[in-house]
Amino acid sequence: MSQIRALIVDDSSVMRKIVERSLRQAGIDLSHVIEAGNGVEALGLLDSNTVDLILCDINMPVMDGLELVRHLQTIDKLRGVPVVMITTEGSESNVIQALSLGAKGYIRKPFTPDQVKEHVLPVLGV
Amino acid sequence: MTPSSERLSSTTAFDRTSWTHLLEFAACEVFDIMLGTRLQPYTSQAVAANDEFTALVGLAGSLCGVLSIRCANQSARIMASLMLGMPPEEVDNDSWDALGEVANMIAGNFKGKLSGIGNHCMLSVPTIIVGSDYKTRSLGPGKTLEAVFDFDHKPLWVTLEVHD
């Protein structure tokens, strides 16, 4: 697997660090990790950064994760970037909505590193 | 209270005993998975500390209420250190953040275990209160469920106030 540039979007800085650690524990070779606290911050960072993977919470202030996924689908250069939702909002309706908007995977909090591995590696084609 | 991969479920009808059990189970599961800690009931007289943190998460929709988690400042610091894998003395404002995220996960885990509730109940982002000299008041009638755990030899309250 080649080196991966990842964007982690969560309003909790603790959770962003846990997600990054879980990705590394999953054996994903991260070359570059950028972090955003909401969807608007994420879109700003994506203006000037290229990423291979986006991990995204749903329930965030300013712009939530579902809205971010919706925006990503309208931007040509970002439409193909795989998004995996990591969220406490694990209801079936949320999963269906996220996947229908374009998310490629869905992980419910609390999660183990093995669950991160199970859901993230396939979207990276591993 | 031994967390496992078992999925509990309940009907949407309020039942104090089964909902309290689900609340305990949801909390234990979060601490087990995210902090690597097995919560046990607090068996001594639980007395609040002066330097407390409280995290509040609102629930709205088919289940309305507030879930709160309350503990000593030092307990929140230890939670953050376990979540981040760093020494407690290196944890700064992350302890607030960690407590809020734990409350968020317990609330999400709890509602997910109630059949028919999860799809129609939304969570707020967490709010953190610093200190113990405060009172909350609900505008409507409700019921309160509470579990008190032993976390690092100090009491940790997990409370769910359900609005009618």
- pLDDT, position B105: 96
Listed residue (B144, B101, B121) closest to B59, CA to CA: B121
Residue B1 has pLDDT above 80, yes or no: no
d(CA B70, CA B37): 17
- pLDDT, position B3: 44
Domains along chain B with CATH numbers:
44-163 (3.40.1550.10)
Tell me the DSSP string of B121-138: EEEPPPEEEESS------
Residue B49 has pLDDT above 60, yes or no: yes
Those residues with Cβ within 8 angstroms of residue B73's Cβ, 6 or more apart along the chain or in another chain: B49, B51, B52, B53, B95
Residue in chain B closest to A112 (alpha carbons) equals: B33
Q: Crossing angle of helices B16-30/B94-112, nearest 10°? A: 130
Listed residue (A57, A54, A105) closest to A81, CA to CA: A54
Split at pLDDT 50, 70, 90, the class of B25 is: very high
d(CA B99, CA B79): 7
What radius of gyration do chain A's Cα atoms show? 13
Strands A105-108, A83-87: pairing is: parallel
Chain B partners within 8 Å of A88 (Cβ) = 104-105, 107-109, 123
Q: For chain A, give every domain's residue range.
A: 4-123
- pLDDT, position B140: 72
Mean pLDDT of A59-82: 94
- pLDDT, position A49: 95
Q: Which two tokens stand for residue B80?
A: 């953050």
Chain A partners within 8 Å of B104 (Cβ) = 12, 59, 88, 109
Asked if B81 reaches chain A (Cβ–Cβ under 8 Å), the answer is no
Listed residue (B52, B50, B92, B47) closest to B70, CA to CA: B52
Tell me which amino acid residue B29 is: E
- pLDDT, position B118: 67
Please provide the CATH number assigned to the domain covering A4-123: 3.40.50.2300
- pLDDT, position B7: 45
Handedness of CA A56, A58, A60, A66 (dihedral sign): positive
Q: Do B125 and A60 touch (CB under 8 A)?
A: yes
Q: Which of residues B50 and B32 earns the better pLDDT score?
A: B32
What ipTM was reported for this prediction? 0.88
Chain B partners within 8 Å of A94 (Cβ) = 119
Most confident of A7-16, B4-13, B36-45, B109-118: A7-16
Split at pLDDT 50, 70, 90, the class of A78 is: very high
Asked if A49 reaches chain B (Cβ–Cβ under 8 Å), the answer is no
d(CA B116, CA B100): 25
Give whole-number Cα distances, B100 to A65, B14, B24, B119, B128, in Å. 18, 26, 17, 22, 7
- pLDDT, position A89: 79
Average pLDDT value for chain A: 93
Q: Do B100 and A59 touch (CB under 8 A)?
A: no
Residue B11 has pLDDT above 70, yes or no: no
Q: How far is A13 from chain B, CA to nearest CA, in Å?
A: 7
Q: Tokens 């846990």 correspond to what residue?
A: A18
Listed residue (A75, A62, A80, A85) closest to A8, CA to CA: A85
